[in-house]
Amino acid sequence: MGLRKRYRLRGVGTAVRHITAVDDVSIQMSVGETVAVVGESGCGKSTLAKLITQLETPDAGEMVFDRRPVRVRTRRERLAFSRNVQMVFQDPYGSLTPHFRVGTLVAEPLRIHRLETRPRLVSRVAEVLESVGLDAEIAKRFPHELSGGQRQRVSIARASATRPQLIVCDEPVSALDVSVRSQIVNLLLDLQRDLGLSYLFISHDLALVDHIADVVCVMYLGRIVEQAPAREFFAAPRHPYSRALIASSPVPDPRRRSPAPAVLGAVELGVAPAGCRFRKRCPLAVAICAENDPPLHAVAAGHLVACHRGNEFGVPTAFPEQSV
């Protein structure tokens, strides 16, 4: 059983409705690996991030870390876990406590986990700040005095201060100016090399994912619909939704016209139709799609897809619809 999370919808009516934000999601990661989770808004990416960092409790399913099931019932368990699994948030403006100075913010994980004695704390904070490319002088400033890129560096400094094994990055660069995005991405890659980090990288920027990910997972309405090594994913996506995502990501070439929309309509959040949850928007849907929900199954080594017709397309690069 993968991770599952349902939220109760608050309404005026008498009927209690739930929305299943994350539905039976299983992801395996190796040390030093970057797994990217992509999908459109509302597909459950951020909920997945909160489940993995144990900010939310899953309704079903279990997480295994270092061969042991994760338990965070007691304070000691929570500390042991959070020391190893950290998170970087999307919004660099909201994710730093506004009344803390940068030095206090960066010292906080060290204090919580008692990793440094008080006299050593200041110099350790300076080290951590320098490791993310910030001047140690910045410790005296407040978050509102920093630029977006600097704030995200502070967030990364906080997340990496305890030398975790896994950092969950929830769209860490999508709120930043394009000009500083690559700097932050390169910082993440440098840290990965230096500290042997693994990243679970949530994004909707496929060009970025192509650049950094080892494995790509595509989420749709709370479910993983395709999971593949990055190279294979971009060369031969199997799920029609993955193909649509790739087709819709912009290409810097003015002669290439943007292709015709490869999916139909917009997603109805939380309302998965019977059968395949993608079928109402799928240009390839056939009768069986309305009857059975396709399970995630292997089509090649390490390549999983949840589509009845996922086998039909060995190595196609273009959509049949695209030529129309």
Contact between 41 and another protein per CB under 8 A? no
Kindly tell me which residue out of 31, 60, 97, 268 binds another protein, with binding defined by CB under 8 A.
97
CB of 115 to another protein, least distance (A): 11
Contact between 91 and another protein per CB under 8 A? yes
Q: How far is it, in rounded angstroms, from Cα 242 to Cα 207? A: 14
CB of 91 to another protein, least distance (A): 5
CB of 228 to another protein, least distance (A): 29
Contact between 158 and another protein per CB under 8 A? yes
Q: Which of residues 100-129 bind another protein (CB under 8 A)?
A: 100, 108-109, 112-113
The secondary structure of 89-135 as a DSSP string is -S-TTTSS-TTS-HHHHHHHHHHHTT-S-HHHHHHHHHHHHHHTT--
Kindly tell me which residue out of 36, 87, 276, 306 binds another protein, with binding defined by CB under 8 A.
87
Kindly tell me which residue out of 47, 82, 150, 242 binds another protein, with binding defined by CB under 8 A.
82
- Residue 104 contacts by C-beta under 8 Å, 6 or more apart in sequence? none
What's the token pair of residue 230? 């990055």
Report residue 136 CA to chain centroid gap.
30
CB of 237 to another protein, least distance (A): 32
Nearest to 39 by CA among 29, 30, 49: 49
Kindly tell me which residue out of 20, 34, 95, 198 binds another protein, with binding defined by CB under 8 A.
95
Q: Which is nearer to another protein, 89 or 278 (CB)?
A: 89
- Which span (12-20, 88-96, 190-198, 246-254) binds another protein, by CB under 8 A? 88-96
Q: Which is nearer to another protein, 77 or 312 (CB)?
A: 77
Distance separating the N- and C-terminal Cα atoms of the chain? 41
CB of 3 to another protein, least distance (A): 17
Nearest to 180 by CA among 134, 249, 131, 248: 134
Contact between 201 and another protein per CB under 8 A? no
Q: How far is it, in rounded angstroms, from Cα 280 to Cα 276? A: 8
Q: How far is it, in rounded angstroms, from Cα 263 to Cα 202? A: 22
- Which span (12-20, 72-80, 196-204, 240-248) binds another protein, by CB under 8 A? 72-80
Q: How far is it, in rounded angstroms, from Cα 36 to Cα 75? A: 30
- Which span (75-83, 116-124, 247-255, 297-305) binds another protein, by CB under 8 A? 75-83
CB of 88 to another protein, least distance (A): 9
Pairing of strands 198-203, 166-170: parallel
- Residue 117 contacts by C-beta under 8 Å, 6 or more apart in sequence? none
Residues lying near another protein in the complex (CB under 8 A) are found at 50, 53, 55, 75, 78-79, 81-83, 86-87, 89, 91, 94-100, 108-109, 112-113, 155, 158-159, 162
